[in-house]
Structure 1
Amino acid sequence: MRRIAPDHDQLLAIVAEVFREHGYEGASLALIGEATGLGKGSLYHFFPGGKEEMARAVIAHIDGWFEDNVFAPLRDGADPSAGIEQMLAVTDSYFRSGRRVCLIGAFALDDSRNLFAGQISNYFGRWITHLADALVRGRHRPAEAMELAEETVAAIQGALTLARAADDAGVFSRMLRRLRMRLGLPAKT
Structure 2
Amino acid sequence: MRPQKIDDQEMLEGLTKVFRNKGYEGASLKELAEVTGLKKASLYHRFPNGKKEMGEAVFNHLGNWVNEHVFKTLNDNSIKPLSRLNGALAAIRVLYDDGKETCILRAFSMHNGLELFEDLIKKNMSIWIDNFEKLGLAFDLKPEIARTYALQSLVEIQGSLIVTKGLNDLSIFDTTINDIQRRYLSE
Q: TM-score, normalised by structure 1?
A: 0.92
Contact 2:10/2:36 (8 A) holds in 1: no
Output the CA distance in 2 between the equivalents of 1:149 and 1:109: 24
Greater displacement, 113-122 / 57-66: 113-122
User: CA RMSD, aligned part only?
Assistant: 1.5
Contact 2:19/2:107 (8 A) holds in 1: no
Deviations 1:98-139 (A, max 9, x none): 111111222124431121112111111111101101111211
Residue in structure 1 matched with residue 24 of structure 2 by the alignment: 24
**Pairs within 5 Å for 1:97-112:** 97-112=98-113
| Corresponding position: 1:65 with 2:34 | no
Output the CA distance in 2 between the equivalents of 1:5 and 1:26: 27
Question: Structure 1 residues 110 and 170, CA, compared in 2 at 3 Å: closer, same or farther?
Answer: farther
Shift of 1:144: 0.4
**Corresponding letter in the other structure for 1:166:** L
Contact 1:159/1:175 (8 A) holds in 2: yes
Structure 1 residue runs of 4+, over 6 Å off?
A: none
**Corresponding letter in the other structure for 2:129:** I
Output the CA distance in 1 between the equivalents of 2:114 and 2:104: 11
Output the CA distance in 2 between the equivalents of 1:28 and 1:180: 39
Greater displacement, 71-80 / 150-159: 71-80
Contact 2:133/2:147 (8 A) holds in 1: yes
Deviations 1:137-188 (A, max 9, x none): 2110000000000001110110011000001111101111111111117xxx
What SS does the aligned partner of 1:111 have? helix
Contact 2:130/2:150 (8 A) holds in 1: yes
What SS does the aligned partner of 1:100 have? coil
Residue in structure 2 matched with residue 116 of structure 1 by the alignment: 117
Shift of 1:5: 3.6
Shift of 1:63: 0.6
Contact 1:136/1:145 (8 A) holds in 2: yes
Residue in structure 1 matched with residue 183 of structure 2 by the alignment: 182
**Corresponding letter in the other structure for 2:138:** R
Output the CA distance in 2 between the equivalents of 1:161 and 1:129: 23
**Pairs within 5 Å for 1:37-76:** 37-76=37-76
Kindly tell me the number of residue pairs found equivalent between the two proteins. Answer: 185
| Corresponding position: 1:138 with 2:154 | no
Shift of 1:6: 2.4
Contact 1:5/1:38 (8 A) holds in 2: no
Question: Structure 1 residues 39 and 171, CA, compared in 2 at 3 Å: closer, same or farther?
Answer: same
